[in-house]
Amino acid sequence: MNHPSQPLRDLSCADDYDPNSMPVEKAREVIARFLSPVTAVERVHVRAALGRVAARDVMSPFDVPAHDNSAMDGYAARHADLAVDGEVTLKIAGTAFAGAPYAATINAGEAVRIMTGGVVPVGADTIVMQEHVKADAGRVTIGGGHRKGQNLRHAGEDLKAGAAALLRGRRLRAAEVGLIASLGIPEIAVYRKLRVAFFSTGDELVSFGSALGEGQIYDSNRYTIHAMLERLGCEVLDMGVVRDDPALIETAFSQAAEAADVVITSGGVSVGEADFVKELLTKLGEVVFWKIAMKPGRPLAYGRVGGAHFFGLPGNPVSVMVTFYQFVREALLKLSGQDPVEAVPTFRVPCTSALKKASGRTEFQRGILTRGENGDWSVRVTGEQGSGILRSMSEANCFIILPTDQGNVAPGNFVEVEVMEGVV
Ligand code: AMP
Ligand code: MG
């Protein structure tokens, strides 16, 4: 299990921050200080490696490419034989296809028909594209102006034998899976998956199969959290809905902390509900309750429960997703051993909607980025921005991030957007 290393309590004394108005950046910084990544390693087949994190540097066992080879379909020749101006006709001495090299040395006055990936025959130093020659009856006529070494890929130009093809901490995408396979490596050392336990709290929550009584709602947070964790490659432990009952919540926390590296809850951290949860978590670990200067997602609890990292997300469905993407995602990537974890890229585009924005907090409005007929991108807001309106997340393809000191936005003003694709 991974223990946050420093006591959080010391931090609240030593650091000059106000838990009732915690800036987004500051909260991220504090969280980052306590993260201790998984260290256990397992070996997986390269086919099962997608989304996992490399636990060792992967070294190339040989030069890549292993031989000088052709980058084109054409003819391998000796540059000394080619004309500077005018034409020269060479004898086609044989073929060098990918996987079937030309066995002999090229002599003066000879060329070898070569295909992309074919090993460059000994003696040849230049490849002439087939589009630039005339071939007929065992002879090839080549024009002037060819550069020595052209269209030739040199042995070791991608990677020298013993060099690192990728470094420990890299999350493996399709490109890395292919890269590892290209080195002839069938199995790779990865960190074990991060185990994340989560549950919803709330007396109003109902699960599938029951009709809704008055004031009841279906539990959606557990499903969005489950889906977001799956996207991050975590091992998920769904602990269900827990009633707002101190004894039940205590049991749930203890079981979750026992079973997982990270515990995530939704609901129960707002002002009205926080008191008994606060008391309980002080008993079980170390937790700070922040009111983040952001909308949506103001209340957030963070700390340690037993040996597990803990994130107490707000109850409102949009707040859950926003706080997850702004704080939890990055933390989970770091905890799973990924290094470095880059921030999700943002960029600035004109906003076609008028946006209301109070200063003094960061707002994450839900936006729709579209490309106009002139080819330029712009963003509009998804309509009502209430933190209970999950449809606003579903319709959106980006967050519109309005920083602390920003006021209202007029149509045409530029705003910062963060694309959700590949992230959410
Ligand atoms: P809370 O933070 O527990 O006061 O919850 C804030 C709002 O979010 C309330 O309207 C809750 O009904 C709603 N909520 C809490 N948990 C969930 C959940 N798991 N799924 C959907 N809505 C929820
Ligand atoms: Mg609640």
Whether the pLDDT of residue 118 is over 50: the answer is yes
Say what the pLDDT of residue 1 is.
44
Say what the pLDDT of residue 66 is.
94
The mean pLDDT of 82-101, rounded to a whole number, is 94
Question: In angstroms, what is the span from residue 389 Cα to ligand 1's centroid?
Answer: 12
Ligand that comes closest to the CA of residue 319: 1
What residue owns the CA closest to ligand 1's atom 15?
315
Whether the pLDDT of residue 4 is over 60: the answer is no
The mean pLDDT of 58-73, rounded to a whole number, is 96
Q: Which amino acid is at 294?
A: M
Instruction: From the CA of 272, give the closest atom in ligand 1.
Output: 4
Ligand that comes closest to the CA of residue 217: 1
370-399 confidence digits (pLDDT tens) = 999 999 999 999 988 889 899 999 999 999
Instruction: From the CA of 220, give the closest atom in ligand 1.
Output: 20
| Range from 7-21, 32-46, 57-71, 289-303 carrying the lowest mean pLDDT | 7-21
* Sheet with 285-291: strands ordered across: 235-242, 195-201, 262-266, 308-313, 299-305, 285-291
Q: Predicted confidence band at 273 (pLDDT cuts at 50, 70, 90)?
A: confident
* % of the chain exceeding 90 in pLDDT: 86
Q: Predicted confidence band at 2 (pLDDT cuts at 50, 70, 90)?
A: very low
Task: Compute CA distances 226 → 60, 265, 298, 307, whole Å.
Answer: 37, 11, 22, 22
| Three-state secondary structure call for residue 226 | helix
Question: In angstroms, what is the span from residue 273 Cα to ligand 2's centroid?
Answer: 7
Say what the pLDDT of residue 330 is.
96
Q: Would you say the C-alpha torsion 250, 252, 253, 259 has a positive or negative sign?
A: positive
The per-residue DSSP string of 263-320 comes to EEEESS-SHHHHHHHHHHHHHHEEEEEEEBSEES--EEEEEEETTEEEEEE-SSHHHH
Ligand 1 cavity residues, CB under 6 Å: 200, 202, 204-205, 217, 219-222, 266-268, 270, 273, 314-317
Take residue 109 and report the two structure tokens written for it.
Answer: 């006055």
The mean pLDDT of 167-181, rounded to a whole number, is 97
Q: Predicted confidence band at 6 (pLDDT cuts at 50, 70, 90)?
A: low
Per the CB < 8 A criterion, the answer to whether 248 and 292 are in contact is no
Question: In angstroms, what is the span from residue 197 Cα to ligand 1's centroid?
Answer: 18
Say what the pLDDT of residue 373 is.
96
**Pocket probe mutation, ligand 1, options 201, 203, 205, 278, max atoms within 8 Å of Cβ:** 205
Say what the pLDDT of residue 11 is.
62
Instruction: From the CA of 319, give the closest atom in ligand 1.
Output: 8
Q: What residues are paired with 136 via a beta bridge?
A: 139
Whether the pLDDT of residue 9 is over 80: the answer is no
What residue owns the CA closest to ligand 1's atom 16?
315
* % of the chain exceeding 70 in pLDDT: 96
The mean pLDDT of 391-413, rounded to a whole number, is 96
What residue owns the CA closest to ligand 1's atom 23?
315
Say what the pLDDT of residue 90 is.
97
Say what the pLDDT of residue 7 is.
65
Say what the pLDDT of residue 125 is.
96
Instruction: From the CA of 266, give the closest atom in ligand 1.
Output: 16
Instruction: From the CA of 219, give the closest atom in ligand 1.
Output: 20
Whether the pLDDT of residue 177 is over 80: the answer is yes
Question: Distance (Å, rounded) from C-alpha 64 to C-alpha 156?
Answer: 5
Say what the pLDDT of residue 164 is.
97
Q: 343 burial class (0-12, 13-18, 19+ CB within 10 angstroms)?
A: exposed
Question: In angstroms, what is the span from residue 34 Cα to ligand 2's centroid?
Answer: 27
Question: In angstroms, what is the span from residue 388 Cα to ligand 2's centroid?
Answer: 13
Instruction: From the CA of 204, give the closest atom in ligand 1.
Output: 12
The mean pLDDT of 104-125, rounded to a whole number, is 96
**Pocket probe mutation, ligand 1, options 217, 249, 390, max atoms within 8 Å of Cβ:** 217
Mean pLDDT rounded to a whole number for the chain: 93
Whether the pLDDT of residue 227 is over 60: the answer is yes
The mean pLDDT of 22-37, rounded to a whole number, is 94
Among 110, 139, 137, smallest CA distance to 126 is for 110
Q: Predicted confidence band at 271 (pLDDT cuts at 50, 70, 90)?
A: confident
Say what the pLDDT of residue 277 is.
84
Q: Predicted confidence band at 52 (pLDDT cuts at 50, 70, 90)?
A: very high
